[in-house]
A and B are shown apart, each in its own frame.
Chain A
Amino acid sequence: MTVQLDARPPATPATGNPRQSSGRLSRFDTRFSPYLYIAPFFLIFGVFGAYPLAYTFWVSLHDWDLLGADHPFVGAENYTRLLADTDFWHALVNTLGIFVISTVPQLLAALWLANLLNRGLRARTGWRMAVLVPNVTSTAAVAIVFGVLFGREFGMINWLLDLVGLDAIEWKSNRLASWVAISAMVDWRWTGYNALILLAAMQAIPRDLYEAAAIDGASRVRQFWSVTVPLLKPTIIFCTIIATIGGLQLFTEPRMFHSGTNPIRGGPLRESQTLTMYMFENAFAPHYNFGYGSAVAWLLFALIAIVAAVNVLILRRLGGGARPNARKGTTR
């Protein structure tokens, strides 16, 4: 990231050297070309980010049948209806439940894995690449395979349970079981990814801190909790926010986990229907109510912002304030 700093145009000629700024073009150049350089991001964000966001909000204020010709303005009606919609709250609980079940173990496992990878291993690069392999596989493929593994009758997991004399579990029509199954595939896919990010941050921690800790008599476990974890805090916050955004937008895994008629419900009683699935169910099949679906999308947006903020607050509180050298240690 530091490379971009070099790209900053020299500011001195314009202000400190009036002789050279005689050309109007040159003055224009120094003043405005930086904006031109950063413009592409904002243009692309405007077209693909801000515009859809605003348009979705506009749609959410209308009674908007996807195929219909008229879209009458209804104001906040979609939102008030949505807040009274039990299926919406049900999907919200599902989403948060799956999020907690998947994210907490995932980040803990990633931290542990990163710590292991940070040691002197043989074929270190090989191991580090190996943890990323699940992340490279297609989500849909993973979800289909897990969907088959967790099948009620022909699934391998229930077969294994049967081998050890346990009753088969209704993975797809039991609320908690389906959350666990979906969390399992999320964790399988993302633990390695987070581990690599944490590993990169771990390697930026100066060795002498550990040496000093060792001289003071700190055990490895104590070093991990008192040196590594506090210094990793900014990175952990970053991972948590990324996991929050991904977790609350969870769609492909639960959608592909279910097959058959109307899989968008996430089971007969909406056992594992997430908010994005609920949004799809309303905006597209079978309701085709675009306005209502857009309102779901906006509430989801608000929810992600809130949960991310809460995450940051909680993590800031944990283990005291961030140390100054920790801030310096990261490049973000």
Chain B
Amino acid sequence: MAVFPRRRLAAVALAAATALLVTAGCGGGDEPGDGKITLTVDVFGQFGYEQLYQEYMAANPDVKIVERGTGTNLDEYSPKLTQWLAAGRGAGDVVAIEEGLLVEYKANPANFVNLLDHGAADLKGNFLEWKWNAGLTADGKQLIGLGTDVGGIAICYRKDLFEKAGLPTERDAVSKLWPTWPDYITTGERFTAAKTGASFLDGATNTFNTILLQTAGNTTGYSYYDTSGNLVVDSNPSVRQAWDTTMDIIDSGLSGKYGSWSEEWVSAFKQSKFATIACPAWMTGVIEANAGTDAQGKWDIARVPGNGGNWGGSHLAVPKQSKHQAEAIELAKFLTSAKGQIGAFKAKGPLPSSPQALDDPAITGATNAYFSGAPVGAIFGTGAKSLKPVYMGPKNQAVRTEVENAVRTVELGQRNPAQGWTDAVNNAKKAAAK
């Protein structure tokens, strides 16, 4: 027994030393010795920056870039980022913020460096006007983030499954199948009747959000909140219209009921369990990552039913807690420059928010081999400059979660559409009040 305390002491000492080492390693600061500055970039999903980092590090030998979070679901990413900001430490030097969450972060601008103080005003012309404005606080005095991508929408579909179902497979012919959402449903019914063993679409929530943002962009310009910040879930006709269309899709039995971003959703990609998916430009990278190389050339891209639409898109911000603000700002400027946006588009498909980049032949002529050589630049880029932004209110994410969950309960047969709508409205109001 006499040996035990000493051994335990050694164990405690070892644990403490390890903890120290680990904390030192996580500090994200400089590594003494090589004189390099380490810049940490926090992202979610697929941003496609790997190649750009290499270029930047080659041009700036004193900077080392570490990226965290590629492939992370936004729902896992945003609480982490918020905790880092609240704690005053832990966040990367450059952080990606999705448009739906930007409104919440903008409400507390003190957490971020004002990019206008660092010469960002000169860059205004490099961004679509609404994208630039989205990065500004309400009073227009602080720029929180520089725009990265916008989310032009299309429909990605499986050529092989369409062929099996006796439907056209060429992307122009497929686009002609569904000028409107009712036509999309009719096509889906034809597909379902052919019994290919796959569903027509992955799940209802993504489709619902696509229809909502398209409808809202084309009409009111806002979705769950009006531009004065009032919750209008139950009075905005765009929301109701998107809801009804989605209910029709569910009612026709077209959905595979795979919950977006769930493990089953990923499995369904791999096992070819659905034929179409609502496809904002950034989704092409997600599809490629989920479906894997086996499905290369089986996917293609067609027009979205209805008229255009915009879903998603992010900004890059520099938290005030960064120890290397100046360097981080330079990196953010580089990544959001026309050149940076073109590089990201080529790597993982997020559509540029820079008009110069959108006009660049590298974009307009771009094709994507994974999607059967589809002219992605033309498909997503056309109309990108005329995209109408949708205003997002202060608790947009919480409200969206409630409404999409209500969609999901109907999809899973737990609620009928009328009950689901009541849930959506009540729960959204409750979430907005929290």
Contact = CB atoms under 8 A, between A and B. Distances in A.
Contacts of A261: 73, 75, 205, 259-262, 401, 404
12 contacts: A65-B108, A67-B85, A170-B412, A173-B412, A259-B263, A260-B262, A261-B262, A262-B75, A264-B75, A268-B414, A286-B401, A286-B431
Interface string A61-88: 0000111110000000000000000010
A151 interface: yes
Interface string A162-190: 00000000100100000000000000000
Interface in A246-288: 258-265, 268-269, 282, 284-288
Contacts of B263: 144, 147-148, 151, 259-260
B409 A260 contact: no
Contacts of A87: 430
Contacts of B111: 67
Given A170-B412, A261-B205, 13 more contacts: A67-B107, A67-B108, A151-B263, A151-B264, A153-B268, A154-B268, A261-B73, A261-B259, A261-B260, A261-B262, A265-B401, A284-B83, A286-B78
Interface in B259-290: 259-265, 267-268, 271, 273
Contacts, number: 101
B205 A68 contact: no
Interface residues of A, number: 35
Contacts of A99: none
Contact of A260 (B78, B104, B261, B398): B261
Contacts of B79: 284-285
Contacts of A288: 82, 104
Given A66-B83, A68-B108, A286-B398, A152 B264 contact: yes
B346 interface: no
B379 to A, nearest CB: 26
A278 to B, nearest CB: 12
Nearest to A147: B263
B412 A66 contact: no
B182 to A, nearest CB: 26
B3 interface: no
B82 A285 contact: yes
Nearest to A148: B263
A191 interface: no
A240 interface: no
Nearest to A67: B108
A259 B262 contact: yes
A193 interface: no
Contact of B78 (A68, A69, A170, A285): A285
A40 to B, nearest CB: 11
Contacts of A285: 75, 78-79, 82, 397
The B interface, classified by DSSP as helix, strand, loop or mixed, is helix
Interface in B78-97: 78-79, 82-83, 85-86
Nearest to A284: B79
Contacts of A265: 401, 405
B434 interface: yes
Top-8 shortest CB links A-B: A260-B262, A285-B79, A260-B259, A286-B398, A268-B408, A284-B79, A67-B108, A259-B262
A258 B264 CA distance: 10
Nearest to A285: B79
B82 A284 contact: yes
Contacts of B107: 67-68
A247 to B, nearest CB: 25
A292 B433 CA distance: 12
Interface string B244-268: 0000000000000111111111011
A260 B108 contact: no
Nearest to B108: A67
The A interface, classified by DSSP as helix, strand, loop or mixed, is loop
Nearest to A175: B414
B370 interface: no
B334 interface: no
B267 A154 contact: yes
Given A260-B259, A268-B412, A284-B79, A153 B434 contact: no
Nearest to B87: A66
A194 interface: no
B110 interface: yes
Q: Which of A170, A261, A269, A282 counts the most B-chain CB atoms under 10 A from its CB?
A: A261
Interface in B379-434: 395, 397-398, 401, 404-406, 408-409, 412, 414, 430-431, 434
Interface in A79-105: 87
A258 B75 CA distance: 13
Nearest to A282: B434
A3 interface: yes
Contacts of A106: none
Contacts of A262: 75, 401, 405
Contacts of A289: 434
Contacts of B1: 3
B434 A292 contact: yes
Contacts of A260: 73, 259-265
Q: Which of A69, A282, A285 counts the most B-chain CB atoms under 10 A from its CB?
A: A285
Contacts of A269: 405, 409, 414
Q: Which of A151, A153, A289, A292 counts the most B-chain CB atoms under 10 A from its CB?
A: A153
Interface in B1-18: 1
Contacts of A292: 434
A67 B262 contact: no
A170 to B, nearest CB: 7
Given A261-B73, A268-B408, A66 B86 contact: yes
A94 to B, nearest CB: 16
A251 B401 CA distance: 20
Interface string B300-328: 00000000000000000000000000000
A67 B408 contact: no
Contacts of B82: 66-67, 284-285, 288
A129 B263 CA distance: 33
B340 to A, nearest CB: 28
Contacts of B56: none
B130 interface: no
Nearest to B258: A153
Given A261-B259, A263-B75, A285-B82, A153 B409 contact: no
B243 to A, nearest CB: 15
B75 A67 contact: no
Contacts of B75: 261-264, 285-286
A266 to B, nearest CB: 11
Given A67-B111, A69-B110, A292-B434, A268 B409 contact: yes
B181 interface: no
Nearest to B262: A260
A288 B397 CA distance: 11
